[in-house]
Structure 1
Amino acid sequence: MNVAGANPKINIIFRSCDLVNAVHNAPRPFNLDKKTLIKLCFKSLHNALQGFNYHIVVLGDNLSPEMKAFFLNFDIEFVEGVFGNDNSIRETIKIAERFNDDEWVYFCEDDYLHTKDAMQKIVTLISEKETIQPSSIKIKQLLRKRKIKLFSIPRFFTKPNIVVFPTDYPDRYEQEYSNRDFIFHTTNSHWRQVYDTTFTFLMQVKDVKRKRRTLWKSANKANDRYLSNNLYGKSFFFNKLLCLSPMPSVATHMHIETMSPLQDWEGIVNELKAEI
């Protein structure tokens, strides 16, 4: 679906497989089976996209007839095959490279539940991204009750573009993992810098093409650690991107151990059950 005059264009590549309940056998919340979970997650994303300029590609990896029938009820592009996890990631990269450089692509796994305002906050962030800039490292010294700046170290030569990771993971509030990160705000939300993601994230198409080698290599054994280490900057952003995650979360990974805080996910699930 395209809404005339809306910007930016968001291309969603929804990667789905209903044969495996969870890659690491992590328990699902609210006693959801995998098919119901996929339906709820897709419907939550579809609802959040209404009113925006979007195109959805569903990449079905050996999907059951029930799931195929579900997806084909929507206005989507359907790509079907038997890929396996690694090759399905590579296939999403190929699909993303078809889109125009100034458009955005949302690589979305099938077990992320979204809030109603998820895309509103993401689109606002993208629209206001030029105001988001990591500051220089400033070295100061206190002299006669005044702080004198001795020198500053730039964190980048070219202002880094952003990657959006829509999930606020709970372990980022644990003291042993806490870091001093950049925190920004847009007109409707707060965002903070993060250094690691899963394979669910949103980035501009020109960056997908520029970072193709990293993305492609990360697909080997679905290595999101390699992806994060080579794609996102920490203190410096020389040839790296700035990854931002919302506070509170606008999506959650539907594993019991990693549910994002400060959102009523069970309430969202119960509302969506009436729609599928």
Structure 2
Amino acid sequence: MRDIAIAYRLYPGVSKIPVVHATDKFQLSQLALESFRRALGGLNFKIWALLDGCPPEYPDLFRRVFTQDELELVDVASAGNLKTFSMQIDLLTQQTEAELVYFAEDDYFYFPDALVEMVNFVQENSDVDFVTPYDHPDSYFTSSRYEHHEVRPFGKRHWRTASSTCLTFLTRRSTLIATEHMMRSYSRGNMDCSLWLALTQKEGLFNPRVHAADTIRLKIWVKTWLWGWRNLLFSRGYKLWSPMPTLSTHLESTGLSPLVDWPEEFAAIEE
């Protein structure tokens, strides 16, 4: 058995405004992928690369970064964000390479050995259901800062429970199978935030200071109940954890993780 199985999806278009290589998705993808390989350290892994309408230089990039034994390329004919997430679920529930599985998107920058730390955290803590590498700015600057969190020291950092994240995360294959119906709701029109709230929140959904703070948060609260009422009423709650300080950041210019001098980090990489 391997330590981890990974489904990494990549789309060649630029969305939003990246903090680096804002007009060159290939350069952005190369920066992200090379940092991801460093984040895997000495782990024994298998990675499936879902290439969503990508020209030939993208599979060549993956072949340069990973060995033939580590990599399997999956050519997707412009399926789009919703379908490729569902394909990740298909791959990671059906594979038998590893019990730990990782969903990866193409616009994250990682610190070295980030995935090693995440794998260790899951293996040594039985109550860890999901882990994100990303310490979200939302937890500091929006109504999410009023949520109640559990904080735990482990390894080189502290880990905090979070109510939601994006679609880059680590979990067990068994947990993914147990939550598959809720996960697939994203591909049917649900939001990532409301998906996670349906998995992680019980009593927390009744905190008006958090969920009635503005119209956007209220909309998320409504969608959480519309899509996740069955899970909220009849399933157990799951714990999602995030690292402090962060192990990774989303490369969108407005979504950088706090407490890190990112211009300095990117400048060092470019040099």
With structure 1 as the length reference, what TM-score do the two structures score? 0.78
Counterpart selection for 2:8 from 14, 23, 44: 14
| Unaligned residue ranges in structure 1 (runs of 5+) | 3-7, 131-159
Which residue is 1:198 aligned to? 166
How many angstroms does 1:115 deviate by?
0.6
Superposed CA deviations along residues 237-269 of structure 1, whole A, max 9, x for unmatched, are: 952210000001100000111100222433443
Q: Between Structure 1 and Structure 2, whose CA radius of gyration is higher?
A: 1
1:185 aligns with 2:153: yes
State the aligned residue count.
235
Mapped partners of 1:269, 1:223: distance in 2: 30
Tell whether the 8 Å contact from 1:167 to 1:252 is kept in structure 2 after alignment. yes
Give deviations 1:115-152, integer Å, cap 9, x for gaps: 1131232122112213xxxxxxxxxxxxxxxxxxxxxx
Q: How does 1:234-245 map to 2 (within 5 A)?
A: 235=203, 239-245=236-242
1:84 aligns with 2:52: no
Q: Is 1:211 aligned with 2:142?
A: no
Q: 1:170 aligns with which of 137, 140, 146?
A: 137
Distance 1:176 1:215 in 2: 24
Instruction: Deviation per CA, 1:205-232: give whole Å up to 9, x if none.
Output: 0111111111112222462033212222
2:165 touches 2:192 (CA, 8 Å); kept in 1? yes
Q: What secondary structure is seen at the aligned counterpart in 2 of 1:30?
A: coil
The letter for the 2-side match of 1:30 is: V
Partner of 1:112: 108
CA distance in 2 between partners of 1:248 and 1:166 (Å):
10
Indicate the RMSD between aligned Cα atoms, in angstroms: 2.3
Distance of aligned partners of 1:10 and 1:92 in 2 relative to their CA distance in 1, 3 Å threshold: same
CA distance in structure 1 between the partners assigned to 2:241 and 2:91 by the alignment:
24
One-letter amino acid of the counterpart of residue 10, structure 1: I
- The correspondence for 2:41, drawn from 39, 44, 50, is 50
Matches within 5 A, 1:84-163: 84-100=80-96, 103-130=99-126, 160-163=127-130
**Which aligned segments of 4 or more residues in structure 1 are displaced greater than 6 angstroms?**
none
Residue 94 of structure 2 aligns to a residue whose secondary structure is coil
Change in 2 beyond 3 A, CA 1:102/1:117: closer
Do 1:106 and 1:202's aligned partners in 2 also have CA atoms closer than 8 Å?
yes
**In structure 2, how many angstroms separate the alpha carbons of the residues matched to 1:78 and 1:222?**
28
Relative to its length, the structure with more strand (as a share) is 1
Q: Matched residue of 2:95: which SS?
A: coil
Aligned 8 A contact 2:129 2:175 in 1: no
Shift of residue 189 of structure 1? 1.8
SS at match of 2:58: helix
Task: Name the TM-score, length of structure 2 as normaliser.
Answer: 0.79
Identity of aligned residues (%): 27
Query: Is the helix fraction higher in 1 or 2?
Result: 2
Does the CA contact (< 8 Å) of 1:124 and 1:188 recur in 2? no
